[in-house]
Structure 1
């Protein structure tokens, strides 16, 4: 026992020695144009977490909680960077802050720090990467370990999960807290569950969803969701004579949706199996939130009859089946380059839409009153990345594209029941939301995230649309729609550019997904 005590004492001395041997590098603070604040420190070996706590024009003594408190769980481009585009910092404002770094498994702090903002130096560029790492000498905070103030030995509690890993986590956090931060440094399958189903989204689309690295993968900090041909996996003749059985056997590959014959389909001369294989990812088991700012930077796919979507569904269906419990579509688009509506307006990849679905039951759906589109005058949503955002409070929902407000949804004092005029249009039906006091019911419950690329189907591509140079190969009321689509392959498949850029022109690419508490 005495020998064990002595060894424990020696270990404690070594720990204390290591504590004194590291100093948190000085932070770089700068304004973001047109609004916001960036705080960063340089990356270095051993750093596994960076946290910043701050208030504007308010004292922040010791390790007190700030008005804004964030954990950064991974570095990017040589820096640990926190960006907050919700906070307003004016010229002359004082940012009082303290820092926390987890280094080699131990926590270190720098306390009682302050910085005075100057609007003469706003920036949208990342901080300059130093030519030396902390401890190599030189300027800008690269002093040798051990210099400067000695950090405390009582660091704040270190989080054991990254933002967004705790189901409904974050619902008690202060406004402005980053509660979900996905940078796609890895493909986190604990966070993103693959749906496995041929039922699609209930529109008889022509894809089935699976977990396959041909269709969903992460590379160079981006998520790719890319549709491929079913016959690439199963061979010629499978669509009209094979059996697609995706019931699964283990928890990781079980079919997630049997509706619309979603777990097994048989091909015949008139009833083709889904000719496209794609992916749909969701966070229903890992993350859901109520009220917040959702921000996604993504590039839409280009190719005829592609239907990408980033959207949300309720975790619990508190008010009944769809659409009684609501649906929020952050962005939907169509991949066609030359698709026009009956007025001759672009409705393909030059256009995106944001929509909310709600109503007492199908087909009573009030979505036309909560829908907006944005059409680019030059370029497309598939030629570059764009920022799609939604701000959801207890009073309203607002939708943005590249920081431009395109839709505000405020149902008024009578809520969505009154906005939908359901009592007049269908007298005698029950109001599924009558026992809720929330103004925004059914949008007062946790919603989870979904991202997918669908293809075709019998709803989203109207028969009144015109496409060039080749028309739509199926009609929405055709009993052989999937077959008709497939027989037009020689016309639409080349528009996906399958032999260029690894076929990724037809993929939805996602750079990041973030959610802040509001």
Structure 2
């Protein structure tokens, strides 16, 4: 009985030891799992050799996840069903983008070729290089004195005095000023430029004006300047560059432009006009664009009511500034095949006109005018598609003021007159307290230099 009891106790001890051993193994396994979860780079227990952890642990620990195990996939052992099933439309996913790229490159090539073909680096002869170092030269430049408004109903009287056109510090100034108030406010006052011997026009309306209190008409309320090379240099095809700072001031209208020496094809606009630069002195808030915008255009047509300017009028906005803040070069390049204007560099073009078809067809003019009179083509008889821009032109620089031709749109930005009113000049004069102060600091167009070149092969070049 005692022996039996000893055997039972021994068995109990062995069972307890076995249970304790199992508990230790489970605890060790749990601790190992915790260690693996906190340190994923620890080598798992079942991947360690038996000699390190004991055969009993290795045999009794359940297999865990295996890390950093890879196998090589042999070629041909993985199924690729997509190779057995081909979509005939799938190839266009590649072909269409390639076709688009090829088409884009072709179009770019054609445009580059056409540009190189049409714009040529011509050879030129210098005609004028004016930097005002010798003052104002009356043999080259003419101060035009008129009161007729130059066809646009402008409000200024242009003078031949140093009050409005003068050279200072090596630069030419075209400065608008107020008219003598006595001439405007005295009924019956007459301004006769012909009698004074200074009128530059042969038309009576351009040389004589008066004040009539009864009907509200007055002598031009402003004086300004307009100079030209009409008696001096002119070109037929070539280049022009005018370096200037534009004026700042409400209702000012600066311009750099050209007219034909001889109106061979008839009165304006039959013989053409080239506007290299036009702008407005109003600031950038002006609805039509102030001194932050310039425009270029060509004028031609069978009569004033039918003018093709609208087909090639182009504007250019200054970048983060205005054209009144500093000097810019306003240029023209003109040949038999094309004409374009630019600012500062030939690469920054404003208006480009390629002479490819007769200008009468290009103007899209009606068959007859408003009176039913058939419109004639004044240019086709020459056989040249660039007519009327195939004759000598001279250069004009001026600062106009106001006008009744729509350059300043009625009812916009506080415009103090209406174009169709017979008292437009007087209405403008009465509002001088609002616009004249804006001219104080920068109301002049300042011209640093003027250069003209004649294309070789014309006019003796």
With normalisation by structure 2, the TM-score equals 0.68
Partner Cα distance (2:267, 2:275) in 1? 17
- Counterpart of 2:452? 515
When you count strand as a share of all residues, which structure comes out higher?
1
Pairing 1:160-175 to 2, within 5 Å after superposition: 175=123
CA distance in 2, matches of 1:419, 1:196: 35
Residue 236 of structure 1, CA deviation: 7.0
Contact 2:406–2:419 (CA<8 Å) still a contact in 1? no
Larger helix fraction of residues: 2
Query: Could you say which residue in structure 2 is the equivalent of 1:224?
Result: 173
Q: How many residue pairs were aligned?
A: 329
Native 8 Å contact 2:245 2:328 kept in 1: yes
Which residue pairs with 1:246 in the alignment?
193
Contact 1:197 1:258 in 2 (8 A): no
Within 2, Cα distance between the matches of 1:198 and 1:236? 13
Residue 475 of structure 1 aligns with which residue? 418
Determine whether 1:263 maps to 2:192: no
Task: Report if the CA contact (8 A) 1:208-1:278 is conserved.
Answer: yes
Alignment equivalent of 2:397, drawn from 443, 451, 463: 451
Query: Post-superposition shift, 1:258?
Result: 5.1
Partner of 1:211: 160
Structural RMSD (CA): 2.2
Q: Distance in 2 between matches of 1:277 and 1:428?
A: 41
Q: Distance in 1 between matches of 2:184 and 2:392?
A: 44
2:430 aligned partner: 487
Q: Give the corresponding residue for 2:124.
A: 176
3-state SS of 1:418 partner: helix
Query: Matched residues in 2 for 1:258 and 1:200: separation?
Result: 14
Kindly indicate whether structure 1 or structure 2 has the higher relative contact order, using CA contacts under 8 Å at least 6 residues apart. Answer: 2
Give the C-alpha shift of residue 237 in structure 1. 5.3
CA distance in 2, matches of 1:394, 1:236: 48
Give the Å deviation of 1:466: 2.8
Moved more, 198-207 or 318-327: 198-207
Name which one, 1 or 2, has greater alpha-carbon Rg: 2
Q: What's the CA shift for 1:339? A: 4.7
**Which contiguous aligned blocks of 4+ residues in structure 1 show a shift greater than 6 angstroms?**
none
> How far apart are the structure 2 equivalents of 1:359 and 1:493?
36
Aligned partner of residue 429 in structure 2, secondary structure: helix
Residues 402 and 237 of structure 1, relative CA distance in 2, 3 Å threshold: closer
Aligned to 1:286, the other structure's residue is in SS state coil
Q: 1:237 to 1:255 in 2, by over 3 A?
A: closer
Map of 2:351 onto structure 1: 407
1:239–1:274 contact (8 Å) kept in structure 2: no
Cα offset, 1:421, TM superposition: 2.2
CA distance in 2, matches of 1:200, 1:339: 27
* TM-score, normalised relative to structure 1: 0.60
